[in-house]
Amino acid sequence: MEYEIKHSGKFNFVEEGEGEPLVLLHGLFGALSNFRDLIDHFRSTHKVIIPMLPLFDLNILDTTVSGLAKFVQKFIEARQYGKIHLLGNSLGGHVGLVYVLRHPEMVKTITLTGSSGLFENGMGETYPKRGDYDFIRKKTELTFYDPAVATKELVDEVFGIVNNRLKALKIITLAKSAIRHNLGDELKDIKTPACLIWGKNDTITPPMVADEFHKLLPNSELHWIDKCGHAPMMEVPGEFNTILEQFLAKHKG
């Protein structure tokens, strides 16, 4: 199903369903397609919201994890959502954690999957190798346990980003910001219930990262998905949604 992108002021977002707000934050190469199965599943029980993060639109000084967290804050304030369930993949998880640290009173639960914030084998400075489609395809396939999940549509999307000089520069800037903005010393302050859903075969934020998040987040639970890489909600949506549904049910109302 295709979802309507709504516009309100400077914000572009998807909003589907009714119920407690479930806000989804995408990663560096995130797209609506990343969350399609998740929207389909949860729109019957929650108001599912995906703000389009302005990865390429902030000025260079604000092209940081903190700058994106500030954007999320303004979006949630503008839309007047009540206490939210927050879910982030990859960089989106990192942005979500910074938001929770600044506004704990606004967040009922946080779910992290393949989140940065402690350590990541990022695409890094070597990633935007412009013009080499085969290189981009192989790098995109590394995101998943099953390379077939990296469809031509997905590879084309990533290829389009890294072949735009300004977008490639913003990607590098955000990747560097994520590495610099390590949350190791701050996670103990997050008392919000946290659900970690991790692919056992994630090579970008490997299993040791999930173990460290679990150790440092005082109110967290950790769930593994076998034969799964960096984006479980795309690669194994059925299992991912079941774990998330059970977690959210514990913290409803």
- Residues linked to residue 16 through DSSP beta bridges, in sequence order: 48
Residue 123: pLDDT over 60: no
Answer whether 34's CB lies under 8 Å from 6's CB.
no
**C-alpha closest to that of 169 among 36, 58, 19, 31:** 58
Strands (E), the chain: 6-8, 11-16, 20-25, 46-51, 84-89, 107-113, 194-199, 220-225
List, in order of start, the domains of the chain with CATH numbers: 6-250 (3.40.50.1820)
**C-alpha closest to that of 213 among 66, 73, 88:** 88
Report how far residue 111's alpha carbon sits from residue 237's, in angstroms, rounded to the nearest whole number.
Answer: 15
How many beta carbons lie within 10 A of that of residue 253, not counting itself? 5
pLDDT tens digits along 161-209: 889 989 989 999 999 999 999 999 999 999 999 999 999 999 999 999 9
Q: pLDDT band for position 220 (50/70/90)?
A: very high
Q: If you write DSSP's letter for every residue of 114-159 in order, what string do you get?
A: S--SS-----TTTS--TT-HHHHHHHHHTTSSSGGGS-HHHHHHHH
pLDDT tens digits along 221-244: 999 999 999 999 999 999 999 999
Residue 73: pLDDT over 70: yes
**CA 230 to mean position of chain CA atoms:** 10
Token pair 């440092």 is at which residue?
216
